[in-house]
Structure 1
């Protein structure tokens, strides 16, 4: 139906509900019939025993099937079990008490048999560093000294809490002469 602004809607005629009449029973006709032997309680016990004997006992065999209580997403076994984030039992050096981001490389000394690097804290205190020197809060260790940088390997937790080896490189800071 379409109406304009001044038109009044027509009253629609709804069909009247149909009336159904009949006898209402409280129980279905199949339940109205009562067996004679169910009235006696002794007969009821015998019938229940017979039903139990007829029922088969089914046992669930769980072997070779998925446990419904385990997570469906399985994680790979930890490969980094040997890497432990515990603090060492030795006395920490001043370089281990500060973060790697607060350390800057000042000089690299190259000799015939070994290499030494000079690093400086944020407050200006300097330290001599060689390969194997512990540095940083995350058990970082100097693994390589290059011509103009040092490479540090440290243990860092990822988003799942597992330990990962993180490699970072600190490059030599070149100081420009102000003349």
Structure 2
């Protein structure tokens, strides 16, 4: 029994060796073909262009007001004061209201009430509650409330467009029920 088992192992080993010997010939043929292809094929690589020399450009905007500074707004408001547009003229000559010191995105509408038949909204700003009505001003862009419903405050703001002209823009503050 042991002898038959040894005989099978030797036959299996011989079969593996014969199979490996058969693969070796194909490997040699493949290696020869690869060497021949390397000799025949010539790569066509274009040389890289040398980098261009960096020429620093002098900054010519040192004497101009920075585009992102508060001075730019001041300069623009002074120019408008000299020759105000009809949209902005009335806004510059009136007294500012307390809620004009806060940006609109810091305000939250938390409710609405009716006083004397007129709708009023409740605004939460910095954990303080304010009552506003139609015609009141809020926000930093001359925002004036035009309508109040149970779910939103509609207002118009005066902002500069890309050309520097002052235009009216409609905005709305929605009731925020989850933020009480």
* TM-score normalized by the length of structure 1: 0.49
Higher strand share: 2
